[in-house]
Chains A and B, each alone.
Chain A
Amino acid sequence: MLKYKIFKILLLISLYTTASFADDWDFLSVNGFGTLGVAYQDNKEVLYRDSFFTDNGSKGDISFDNYSLFGLQVDAKVTDQLSLTLQGIASVNNENDKFIDLEWANLKYQITDTFDIKVGLMRLPIFMYSDILNVAYSYEPIRLPNMYSIASFNKYKGAELSHRLEWENTSLLSTVVYGQTNTDNLKGFRANGTVINSNVDADKLYGVALKLLYEDLTLRASYFNTETTVSNSNIERAFAQFDAMGIPVISNTIEKYKSNHSPVSYVNLAAKYDFENAYLLGEYMDINSDSFVTDLDSWNIRAGYNFETWAPFVGYSKSKSSSNYDAIATAGIPPQMLPAIAGANQVFSAISEGPTEANLEAVSLGVRYDLSDNAVLKFQYDEQKRENETLRIFSSAINFVF
C-alpha cells in the first residue's frame, strides 16, 4: 500500500514539475523510463520468463509480461553535497511479487568530486549492467543474457562507497558495498515441471566492484559475498523427516548441506572494447555456495555495429549449474540402514538439482532502431537450447526515457 502511495506521489510530482512551476522546482528533477515489450515462443509446455521472481511470461502465446515496465525517479538536491534519489518500478517481474516496488531510495553525500557515500536502498552492481537492468534504453538487446535472470536478488539495503581515480586517459571506479537483502517467493522450475518456491535472506552482504576505463577499453571485476539462508517448506520437511530417523550419517549430511547462514560468493569478470562504430563485449560470472544450493556459472559474448540510427547485434551465452551434493557413501553401513540412505540420497540429489533455466545455451540476433532522441525500437530473436527442448523466441520492444 505504501509503495502505491509513493508511486502516486512520484507521478504527481512529475506532472506538477513539468507544468508551469518548473523554475521554482530547480532542486527537484523528475525523470522516467519504460519498456513496452512483447515476447512470443511457440512451446506451450515451457514458460519463457525474464527472471526467477515471476511465473509470468510466454508459454506458447504472446506475452507483454516479459519486458514491459514503467519507472519513475525523483532526485532532490538537498544541499550541494547531499541529494536524495527515489525510484519506483511497476512491473510483473519485480521481486517479492510486488507489482510496484522501490528500486532505489537512498541519500547520497558527495564528499569530494571523486568520492561519495550512499545510504539506503540501492541496486547491487553484481554484473556489468545490473544497476541499470530496468532501463533497457541504455543497452542494445531487449533482454540481457541469461546471467542477469538467474541472480536471486538485485538490490540491497545498506551503504555504498564510490571512488573514482582519474589519469589522463584512464579512470578507475571502485564501489564498496555492505548491507543485507531478502527475496520472497523465488520460483525455481525443475526439469520435471515442478516449481520450488523459496525465500532467500542474504545477511552480511559485502563486496567490491572495480571498473577500469582506458581509452576505448572497459575492464570490470567484482566480488560479493553473503551469508545466505534459503527457506523452503518442502525441503525443510524432507530434512526434518530424515533427521528424525536418527541415522548419524544422514543427520550430519543435512547439517552440512542445509542453507542456514551459508556463504555464497559472486564473481564477475567483464571486458568491452568500443571500436569507432562497433563494440565487442564479454562477461563471465560464477556463483558458489557452501550448501545444497546449486553452483552456477555463466558467460556470454556480444558484438554490435552502430550505423547512424540503427544498430544490429549478435550474442551467444551459456549457463550451467552444478550440484553441490555428494551421495552418502554406503560402504561399512549396516544393511538395515541402506534403504534409508538410498532414499536420502535420492531426495537430497533432487533438492540439489539446479533450475532448468540455469542450464542453457542461447544465440541472439537483433536490431535497435532510434525512433527519436528518447525512444528506441528493438527486435530480437533468441534460440535457447535447454536440457530437453529448444525455444525459439521472437521479441520486440519500445524503450523510452523522459
Chain B
Amino acid sequence: MNILRGIAVSGNVGIGKAFLLTSKPLELRRVRIPEDNIETEQKRLEAMLNLTRKELKTLQARIHKSLGSEFADFLEVQIQILSDPALLKICKRHISDAYSAEYAYSKAVAEIARPLLDARHSLFKERLADIEDVTNRVLRNLLSLPSVSLIDAPAGSVVLAHSIPPSEIVLLDPKRVCGVATEIGGRTSHIAIIAKALEIPAVLGVERLLEKLKGDERVIVDGQRGQVLLAPTERRISRYEDEIKKYAARRESFFDEAKQAVITLDERKIDISANIELTSEIYSLKRYGAQGVGLFRTEYIFLTKRRFPTEEEQYRIYSEAAIQLKPHPLIIRTLDLGGDKVFPGYEESNPFLGWRAVRFLFDNEDIFLDQMRAIMRASAHGNVKIMFPMISDVSEIKRVRLLLKRAQDQLTQRRQKFDPQMEVGIMIEIPSAALMADRFAEHVDFFSIGTNDLTQYTLAVDRGNEKISRLFNHYHPAVLQLIRRVIGVAHKAHIWVGVCGEMAAEALGVALLLGLGVDELSMTPCAVPVARRIIRHVRVDTLRKITGRALEYSTPVEVIRYLRRELSRKYPELAVLFLERKSACST
C-alpha cells in the first residue's frame, strides 16, 4: 500500500480500479522514410487528419448535448487546427524531405506554435493546452496507438492522470468515475470545478502519482483528507467502505430532512441558502434542501475562462440560474478577485489588503458595468439580488449606486428588461463596515456577513499561514460582538441580514447565529441538512439567552466550551452535532 498526499478538492471517498489516462506528450524520434513512400505518407497524414476531425466533431456534438455550448465551443479551435493551411504546408514540406508523417507533424506544430511559448499574455499561453491536446490526438491516430479516453472508462473507475486535457474533462461521468487524482492542478483548476459540481471525489496536485502506480491496482481517493491510497490493504478498504456506507445513509436521511419546513420551534422562519459557483450545482443544492442561493461566486466563471466573460456570457449563466431557482433568491456577488489573479506578473506584498474586488472594479469600470448589466438583465427572469464584496467605506456604496444607475440607464436605452426593484446588498467582512453598519444600512437592502474574511481582518490572521492558522477562530468574542452589532443595527433599519461564511456550515455556528438573530444562512450545499435539522429543533429565544452569555467570555476556547456544554444540555438530541466542531459536511 502506498499513501500519497495531495490537495483535497471535492467529495467524500471513492474506491475503484485505476484507470490511467496518459496525457503526457508523446516523444517522437526522427524517422526517415524511403523516397518512394513520400506520396503514400502524405495521403496517410490526410486520412488521419480526417479521422481526427470526425472524432472531434462527434465529441463536440456529444458535449453540446450533455453540458451545453459553453463547454463545446472550445473544441472549435481544435477542429480548425486540423485544417490549418500554414501548418499543413510546413508539414507537407517535411514529409517531402522524407520524414515520417508523425515526425513531420509534431515538428511542424512545434515550429509554428513556438512564439506562443513566450507570449506575454498568459491567455495565449493557455491555448498551448488545446494545441497539445489536438496534436496528441493526431499523433495517436498516425501511430495507431489506442487513444485512451474517458469515454472508455468502465464503471467503478478511479481516473489517474498527469493532467486531464480539456477535451477529456468534459467527458467525466459520475456514473462511471468514482474518483479523480492528478499530478498537477489546484483548487481553481478546471478539473477541480467540474469534479466539485459533479460531486466526484478528487485529489489534485499529487506529486509523482503515476510513478508510484503499478497500473491496475485498486485505488482509494479520499477527497476529504486529500489522500490517494494505491493498492490499499483489505482492512483499509473495508474501513473506507464503512465510511462510504455511513455517508450514503446519512445523505439519505438528509434528503428526507430536505422535505421538512425550515422553521424553529418558536416559529421563526429562517431562509436556508447555498453558496455555489456553478449553475450545475443547483441540482444538488435542491436535493440537500437549500431554497435559494445566498452567495453565487462569480470568480470561477472568470478563472475557468481565464479572461473576463462578456456581458452576454454572464447574462446567459445568471439568467439560467435565476430561472432554475425561481421563486427562491439568487444572490450574485460581483467579482471578488485580486489584481494578482487577473494580471499575470502583477504582484502585491499584501493581496488581502490590496487591490481587489470593488477596489479593482472601480478602476476597471467597463468590466464592472458589464457585470452589473448582466446581473440586472438576469433579474428580469427570477428573484435576483446583487451583492458587493470588500466594502470598507460609505463612499464606496454611494459610488456603486451611481454605477448601478448608469447601468440601468444603459439598459433602458437598449430597451432591455430588468427588475428596477432588484435588491442591493453588501458583504460585511471588513471591521470598518461592521462598526459603521448603521451608516451603510440606509444605502442597501441587506447585509451578508462574510465570517471568514471578517475573522481574518479582525484578528489579523492569515489562515492560509500554517504557523498561525490556529489563531484563526470565528468564535472569537471580538468577531461575535461585531456580528451582533451588525444584526442589531440592520434590524433597527428594517433590513435583513444573512451570513455566508463557513461559520454557517458548522452546527455550533448555526445555533450561535440563530441566537444572534440572523435572518438567512447560506452555506456549502452539503452542510444544509445539518443546519435544517438544528433549526427545526431549537427555539430562537432560548438560543438568544445562551449566546448572550457566550459573548461574555474572553477567548474563543471559552466561548466554544460554554456553547457546547449549554447547547448539548439544552438539546441532547442535537448534542452529537454540537460536539464536533467541523464542517457539517463531514459529520
Q: Report if A and B associate in a common complex.
A: no
User: Chain A residues in contact with chain B, CB under 8 A?
Assistant: none
